Amino acid sequence: MSLQMSSLEKSFESIYQQSIKEPNQFWLEAAQNIHWSKPPIEACELNDEDRNVADWFKGGQLNSCYNALDCHVESGFGEQIALIYESPVTGKSQSFSFNELLGQVAVFAGALMSKGIEKGDRVVIYMPMIPQAVIAMLACARIGAVHSVVFGGFAANELAVRIDDALPKAIISASCGIEINRVIDYKTLLDSALEFSSHQPDFQVIFQREEHQAKITQNGDVDWSDFVIDAQPVGCVAVDATDPLYILYTSGTTGKPKGVIRDNGGHCVALKWSMQNIYNVSPGEVFWAASDIGWVVGHSYIVYGPLFNRNTTVLYEGKPIGTPDCNAFWSVIDKYRVGVLFTAPTAIRAIKKEDPDGQVLKQSGCDLSTLKALFLAGERSDPDTLVWAERNLKVPVIDHWWQTETGWSICANCLGIEQLPVVHGSPTRPVPGYQLEAVDKLGNPVSTGQIGALVIKAPLPPGTFKGLWRNPARFEQGYFAKFNGYYETGDAGYIDENGYVFVMSRTDDIINVAGHRLSTGAIEEVIASHPDVAECAVIGVPCELKGEKPVALIVLNGGVKSQTSDGTFDEIQNETIKLVRQQLGAVYSYKSSVVVDGLPKTRSGKVLRGTMKKIAKHEKYDMPATIDDPTTLTKVTEALSSVVD
């Protein structure tokens, strides 16, 4: 489809071209918007040991905590609210001004230093979505310690392997986490992890929550309140731009984890640039990333990005539905006058499932007049979900694409530069700094509109990962070895005649049906357009005749019942088969589907397609460490048995 592009698009195009042709000048200009204790002379210098990696702002020195807190206080904005804690699972709300947050961070940093934590030491943070987790992260950044936040939903053995890889000098944790219907004993999980792990930290700080008090019995345990009682606040330690800020282990990892390393300088410059140019938020506005600090979205856009940009950021301990209902998100926007919301498509699909016609939202009385845009990322955003959100929220709904490794957007509609025409199913165009191509197996560019592996020309822009912790060989082999001079995203898709990118699926989710390489994402898009379908996942399963065939797992909207009409498929399933045939063609050979109550997902909302494919192929699999609800996988296993030979 040819788009009628606005003449104003030239503004975006000129900025994008400058970032590709003159990256040094482009990013040096962006670097002027942050505080340096020693400004860099150059932006980009190729790493001597790995020419695929750039040392961004080498020679410059700064402190990330200073850029998040101190500089705003010193500029007279100390009374502005920096952090809002909203916890529907506990019924608590709390706000921290920049002055208050800085005070607590400086004291906790002083306590860490008094216990011997120094620049370059690692500190593991294993905490729920509470303000103390943010305080711990910023305190580490303040003294140059490298934090590694481990998602609170990880079991003890998964925490243990991360401890053994990061080799932390200290662990910061809490007595418990709170879910809708249960309390999770974090302290017991931590104790078990320390029994499993070979490495032992010097000490563990435990924040006691009212909902569950932990026993301080482990060797090295110290209560948070005792830890800070005599501590003196400390100032910021200047670090090199290329020094690591944090290690973040990729979700769903089994065996030896992959620890993504983020630097200080490139990270600070890129995230502040993104807040104004991608998300179009001005200093002082309220920005809410409804994610978890254990994931990259939480690092980039709950903690660092908004605070670098002097935004009020929301820390939300709750769910999109069930805390208390499907108006949970809208109530927070109303209460705190949120300007931009960023969440995963699965959250909006969950709300849509409960409120397919938007009537519950209309009857809620929630005032969403401050909301300027909704951004979605973390998985493919099906057009039907985007349309539902556009219709009910009446704001731009922006699908954007990025990864743990990149730390910020690869592709997005950059609202702060120029809003380009929205095309449902596409995260728009590559963001300035990213030179993206679609290539075949040999690394040759594919034709316009043809599906290929999506790759990014090296070196990657600032803010992206510097490597994998203690594993340079895996970094090179896993990301740069297959396509010389390019970063392999692991995603497949195509680029149309307007430069719009369509991310269709993970590379290994492309299925081969009778010699045709087909995207499961394309089938999902069509099925999701059915008015009674809340969400779906399509996987390829073995087929004796055609090699592989697509099978869909379908979740229906709330209130819709699956009625069997012919003893084999129900009416809705038959209608989805007709839709796929009409819109994609018979070549997709889509004939098999099952209706399920829910899809198995990680806690961050990603559908466990790889695990379901192993189930369908009768292959051995391990229960994913990040699975949200193991019962969904059990039910899906039973459902797949009816359609898989």
The whole-angstrom separation of Cα 197 and Cα 199 is 5
Q: How much is the pLDDT for 412?
A: 98
Q: How much is the pLDDT for 172?
A: 98
pLDDT at position 511 over 80 = no
pLDDT at position 584 over 60 = yes
Total structural domains within the chain:
1
Q: How much is the pLDDT for 2?
A: 38
Paired sense of beta strands 146-149 and 122-126, if any: parallel
> In the numeric block, which tokens belong to residue 272?
């502040």
Q: How much is the pLDDT for 426?
A: 95
**Section 448-458 average pLDDT:** 95
Q: How much is the pLDDT for 8?
A: 42
Average pLDDT, the chain: 90
Q: How much is the pLDDT for 431?
A: 98
Q: Is residue 251 part of a domain?
A: no
With cut-offs at 50, 70 and 90, classify the pLDDT of residue 251.
low
Picking from 5, 9, 269, 243, the residue whose alpha carbon sits closest to that of residue 144 is 243
Cβ burial, residue 41 (10 Å; 0-12/13-18/19+)? exposed
Torsion, Cα 381 387 388 391, to 10 degrees, reads: 140
Q: What percent of the chain clears pLDDT 90, i.e. is strictly above it?
A: 68
330-337: long-range pairs with CB below 8 Å, 24+ = 330/361, 330/364, 330/366, 330/368, 331/364, 331/366, 332/86, 332/288, 333/288, 333/366, 333/368, 333/370, 333/371, 334/366, 334/367, 334/368, 335/86, 336/84, 336/86, 336/286, 336/288, 336/312, 337/286, 337/370
Q: How much is the pLDDT for 591?
A: 85
357-363: long-range pairs with CB below 8 Å, 24+ = 358/388, 358/391, 358/392, 360/325, 360/326, 360/327, 361/326, 361/327, 361/330, 361/392
The full DSSP string for 180-233 is SS-EEEHHHHHHHHHHH-S---SEEEEEPBTTBPPP--STTEEEHHHHHTT---
Q: Is residue 391 part of a domain?
A: no
611 neighbors 624 (Cβ within 8 angstroms): yes
With cut-offs at 50, 70 and 90, classify the pLDDT of residue 390.
very high
Q: How much is the pLDDT for 47?
A: 73
Q: How much is the pLDDT for 633?
A: 84
Q: What percent of the chain clears pLDDT 70, i.e. is strictly above it?
A: 91
Q: How far is CA 10 from CA 3, 18, 434, in A?
A: 14, 12, 18
Paired strand residues for 596: none
Q: Is residue 348 part of a domain?
A: no
The full DSSP string for 350-364 is HHHHH-TTSHHHHHH
Q: How far is CA 463 from CA 53, 265, 412, 494, in A?
A: 12, 8, 16, 25
pLDDT at position 216 over 70 = yes
Q: Which stretch of 326-330, 345-349, 374-378, 538-542 has the lowest confidence by average pLDDT? A: 538-542
Cβ burial, residue 90 (10 Å; 0-12/13-18/19+)? middle
HEC string for 289-338: ECCCCCCHHHHHHHHHHHHHCCCEEEEECCCCCCCCCCCHHHHHHHHHCC
Residue 544 DSSP code: T
Q: Is residue 630 part of a domain?
A: yes
> In the numeric block, which tokens belong to residue 510?
């492309």
Q: Is residue 487 part of a domain?
A: no
pLDDT at position 613 over 90 = no
Q: Is residue 607 part of a domain?
A: yes
The whole-angstrom separation of Cα 494 and Cα 512 is 17
E strand or H helix that includes residue 366: none
> In the numeric block, which tokens belong to residue 305?
């990005």
Q: Is residue 628 part of a domain?
A: yes
The more confident residue out of 350 and 245 is: 245
φ, ψ of residue 569 in degrees (nearest 5): -120, 150
Residue 238 DSSP code: P
The whole-angstrom separation of Cα 141 and Cα 135 is 10
pLDDT at position 525 over 50 = yes
In this structure, the number of other CB atoms found within 10 A of the CB of residue 245 comes to 27
pLDDT at position 5 over 60 = no
Q: How much is the pLDDT for 246?
A: 98
**Section 109-118 average pLDDT:** 98
536 neighbors 436 (Cβ within 8 angstroms): no
Picking from 379, 370, 369, the residue whose alpha carbon sits closest to that of residue 399 is 379
Block residue for tokens 């080799």: 167
Q: Is residue 143 part of a domain?
A: no
Q: Which stretch of 370-374, 395-399, 589-593 has the lowest confidence by average pLDDT? A: 589-593
pLDDT at position 419 over 90 = yes
Cβ burial, residue 181 (10 Å; 0-12/13-18/19+)? exposed
With cut-offs at 50, 70 and 90, classify the pLDDT of residue 255.
very low
pLDDT at position 568 over 60 = no
The whole-angstrom separation of Cα 147 and Cα 105 is 14
The more confident residue out of 493 and 627 is: 493
| pLDDT tens by residue, 132-173 | 999 999 999 999 999 999 988 778 888 998 999 999 999 999
The whole-angstrom separation of Cα 630 and Cα 251 is 16
pLDDT at position 566 over 70 = no
Residue 433 DSSP code: T
Residue 532 sits in a domain of what CATH number?
3.30.300.30
With cut-offs at 50, 70 and 90, classify the pLDDT of residue 379.
confident
| pLDDT tens by residue, 81-101 | 999 999 999 999 999 999 999
With cut-offs at 50, 70 and 90, classify the pLDDT of residue 645.
low
Q: Please name the residues in contact with 479: beta carbons below 8 A apart, sequence gap of 6 or more.
A: 405, 487, 488
Domain region containing 565: 517-640
**Section 383-412 average pLDDT:** 96
